[in-house]
């Protein structure tokens, strides 16, 4: 039996560098470290300098985009003096670009940075599923080499945040192990990682050819986006994001051979379950884009497999997984490990059940989500097979186009239904892979890791999906959080118009959220 692990013992006094700190997940990790390990030595944030004179350096961006975040509301309420002191004395901001060698710093400064680092957490990523290939390669793949170089020089563990969807077009049970491409053959190194030298040369050659052949900026972005999707599909992935994140894993394993590397793969990250506050979220995530389109009357049907498992995981469970993995890496260096922060194998929920819960909550309690719903949802939401979806889309597009032509002749402008169909088509193009899953993610290794910590740490850094009550989380917690944190307040005029148009609730039960 290995000795019990302890988060506080592992991280106390340590100097931790985090990339991607302006992003959603990294903010949850940062808040958790400050609140749960108050005597951590220092947190170093590498932040890209803002464009233009007004956007400033890393410290300016930290003060504007991170320190003011509502993710710190709990700490601001409970320990305001401590938080202010921590920000001032133990947050170090480095203006750097992780896509450049040495982060764009002089070599002496880069080496000096490495000497004051004990742990590296790489949460930097482009999460645009349809990113231009050159941009996706730079941030999701090639930057990992620069970040791993810092970890090697520092002799520090690297925790690389990836995604469960690096499994691409593979099918069945997806375990916590390196992923073999589902389609094109890529040579595998004797050490276990896949050798990307030939693949990267091929992709960079194709990117360079398109850039040389295209002068219009908008057309260039479109062609590079199409190239990314085509190459991803050919090699075995559904989009450029998952393809390049898989490449990032391989480059991390290659660069960290003989060192300490932990890859943490979350599934679809949504709002927090418990901490720092239930439902905390920033921005509109995968499932939320479809919810928002439904709430605004922009879509009422979508391609999906209702009986298949969709893997959604609260952000705080992912942050806790990263903290536990970091503590283990510091306490027991020298290994390469892979953990999946997911729910599908331990507490599964189907696509159809998720839609049922959201739709029922929306129709019963839409008035409680005043930023999400402008009016009472009058229509249902249907999921259909992909062939049926394409037939429906084609037929409805023909009708809406014809009606738009009539409206324009009458001077009334384009039919709103045509815009709604475009929204449906774009959502399907971007997200339909995630609503028609063909595998189940497993987290056996992560659960085994959690059991190695004492009971106090297991409670403080919960990773077990069994604690999620899906109706309570998706309806009461997530929709409330989406409404409160992710969406802007409506203008007074739009609120007054909606109030005048909507009938008052007839009972108290109709006016408040209910647990389904």
pLDDT of residue 512: 28
Confidence of residue 288 (pLDDT cuts 50, 70, 90): confident
Q: Is the pLDDT at 511 greater than 60, yes or no?
A: no
Report pLDDT for 139.
Answer: 97
In the block, residue with structure tokens 């306490």: 331
Q: Would you say residue 332 has pLDDT above 90?
A: yes
Angle formed at CA 402 by CA 397 and CA 405, multiple of 5 degrees: 125
Q: What is the mean pLDDT of residues 125-138?
A: 94
Q: What is the pLDDT of residues 214-266, one digit of tens each?
A: 999 999 999 999 999 999 999 999 999 999 999 999 999 999 999 999 999 99
Higher-pLDDT residue of 127, 110: 110
Residue 516 pLDDT > 50, yes or no?
no
Q: Where are the domains of the chain?
A: 1-267+311-345+442-462, 284-310+350-438+470-516
The percent of residues above 70 in pLDDT, for the chain, comes to 86
Confidence of residue 492 (pLDDT cuts 50, 70, 90): low
Q: How far apart are CA 176 and CA 264, in angstroms?
A: 9
| Span of 32-41, 69-78, 401-410, 444-453 with lowest mean pLDDT | 401-410
How far is it, in rounded angstroms, from Cα 313 to Cα 321?
11
pLDDT at 394: 65
Let me know: does 132 contact 234? Beta carbons within 8 Å: no
Rounded mean pLDDT, 25-33: 98
Mean pLDDT of 82-88: 98
Residue 436, pLDDT > 80, answer no
Report whether pLDDT(112) > 90: yes
What pLDDT score was predicted for residue 290? 82
d(CA 61, CA 469): 37
Residue 385 has pLDDT above 80, yes or no: no
- Using alpha carbons, select from 476, 420, 393 the residue that is nearest to residue 294: 420
Q: Are 179 and 287 within 8 A, CB to CB?
A: no
**C-beta separation of 101 from 138 below 8 A:** no
pLDDT of residue 501: 39
Contacts of 159 (CB under 8 A, 6+ apart): 119, 120, 121, 122, 262, 263, 264, 322, 325, 326, 329
Whole-angstrom Cα distance, residue 158 to residue 107?
20
Nearest CA-CA partner of 340 in 163, 111, 142, 503 = 163
Instruction: Indicate whether 448 pLDDT > 90.
Output: yes
Give, for 326, the enclosing helix (H) or strand (E). helix 315-331
Q: Cα 234 to the chain's mean position, in Å? A: 24
Any idea which of 2-16, 49-63, 145-159, 201-215 has the lowest mean pLDDT? 49-63
CA distance 129 to 131: 6
Q: Which two tokens stand for residue 506?
A: 């007839």
Q: Tokens standing for 335?
A: 């290994």
Over the Cα atoms of the chain, what is R_g? 24
Q: What is the pLDDT of residue 396?
A: 58
Average pLDDT of the residues of the chain: 88
pLDDT at 70 over 80: yes
Evaluate if residue 347 carries a pLDDT over 80.
Answer: yes
Does a cis peptide bond (omega within 30 degrees of 0) precede residue 480? no
Q: Is pLDDT of 419 > 70?
A: no
- Mean pLDDT confidence for 262-277: 97
Size (the chain), residues: 516
Mean pLDDT of 115-120: 97
pLDDT at 211 over 90: yes
The percentage of the chain sitting over the pLDDT mark of 90, rounded to a whole number, equals: 72
| Cα–Cα distance for residue pair 53/55, rounded to 1 Å | 6
Q: What's the rounded mean pLDDT across residues 188-197? A: 96
Ranges of H-type helices in 106-195: 107-115, 133-136, 143-154
pLDDT grade, residue 316 (50/70/90)? very high
Confidence band for 160, pLDDT divided at 50, 70 and 90: very high
Per-residue pLDDT at 58 exceeds 70: yes
pLDDT of residue 413: 60
Are the C-beta atoms of residues 351 and 383 closer than 8 Å to each other? yes
pLDDT for residue 494 is more than 80: no
What is the CATH number assigned to the segment(s) 1-267+311-345+442-462? 3.40.50.720
How far from chain centre, in Å, is Cα 404? Answer: 37
Instruction: Let me know if 311 is exposed, middle or buried by CB neighbors in 10 A (0-12, 13-18, 19+).
Output: buried
- Please identify which residue in the block is written with the tokens 């993995």: 325
Read off the pLDDT of residues 449-489 as tens digits, 9 standing for 90 and up. Answer: 999 999 999 999 999 999 999 999 999 999 999 999 999 88
pLDDT at 499: 41
Enter the tokens of residue 394: 């084609």
User: How many Cβ atoms sit within 10 Å of the Cβ of residue 501?
Assistant: 10
């Amino acid at each position: 039996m290995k000795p019990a692990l302890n988060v506080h013992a592992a991280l106390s006094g340590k100097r931790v560098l985090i990339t991607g700190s302006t992003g959603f997940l990294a903010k949850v990790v940062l808040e958790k470290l400050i609140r749960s390990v108050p005597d951590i030595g220092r947190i170093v944030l590498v932040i890209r300098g803002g464009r233009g004179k007004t956007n400033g350096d890393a410290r300016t961006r930290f003060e504007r985009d991170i320190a003011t975040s509502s993710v710190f509301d709990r700490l601001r309420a409970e320990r305001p003096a401590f938080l202010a002191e921590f920000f001032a004395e133990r947050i170090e901001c480095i203006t750097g670009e992780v896509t450049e060698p040495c982060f764009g710093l002089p070599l002496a400064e880069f080496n000096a940075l490495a000497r004051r680092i004990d742990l590296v957490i790489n949460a930097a990523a482009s999460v645009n599923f349809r990113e231009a290939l050159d941009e996706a390669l730079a941030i999701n793949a090639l930057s990992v080499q620069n970040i791993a170089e810092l970890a090697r020089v520092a002799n520090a563990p690297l925790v690389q945040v990836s995604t469960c969807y690096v499994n691409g077009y593979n099918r069945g049970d997806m375990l916590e192990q390196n992923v073999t491409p589902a389609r094109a053959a890529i040579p595998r190194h004797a050490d276990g990682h896949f050798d990307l030298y030939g693949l990267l040369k091929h992709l960079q050659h194709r990117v360079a050819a398109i850039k040389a052949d295209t002068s219009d900026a908008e057309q260039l972005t479109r062609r590079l986006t199409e190239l990314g999707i085509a190459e991803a599909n050919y090699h075995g992935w559904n989009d450029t994001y998952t393809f390049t994140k898989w490449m990032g894993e391989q480059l991390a394993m290659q660069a960290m051979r003989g060192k300490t590397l932990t890859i943490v793969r979350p599934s679809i990250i949504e709002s927090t379950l418990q901490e720092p506050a239930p439902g905390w979220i920033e921005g509109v995530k995968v499932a939320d884009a479809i919810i928002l389109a439904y709430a605004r009357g922009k879509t009422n049907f979508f391609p999906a497999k209702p009986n298949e498992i969709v893997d959604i995981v609260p952000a705080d469970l992912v942050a806790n997984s990263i903290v536990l993995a970091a503590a283990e890496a510091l306490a027991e260096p020298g290994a390469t490990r892979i953990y999946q922060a997911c729910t599908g194998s331990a507490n599964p929920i189907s696509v159809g059940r998720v839609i049922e819960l959201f739709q029922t909550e929306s129709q019963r309690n839409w008035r409680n989500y005043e930023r999400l719903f402008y009016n009472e949802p009058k229509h249902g939401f249907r999921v259909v097979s992909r062939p049926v979806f394409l037939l429906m889309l084609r037929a409805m597009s023909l009708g809406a186009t014809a009606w738009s032509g009539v409206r324009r002749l009458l001077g009334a402008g384009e039919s709103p239904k045509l815009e709604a169909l475009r929204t449906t088509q774009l959502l399907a193009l971007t997200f339909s892979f995630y609503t028609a899953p063909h595998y189940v993610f497993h987290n056996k290794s992560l659960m085994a890791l959690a059991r190695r910590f004492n009971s106090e740490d297991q409670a403080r850094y919960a990773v077990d999906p069994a604690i999620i009550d899906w109706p309570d989380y998706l309806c009461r917690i997530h929709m409330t959080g989406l409404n409160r944190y992710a969406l802007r307040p409506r203008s007074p005029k739009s609120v007054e118009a909606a109030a005048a148009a909507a009938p008052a609730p007839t009972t108290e039960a109709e006016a408040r959220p209910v647990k389904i």
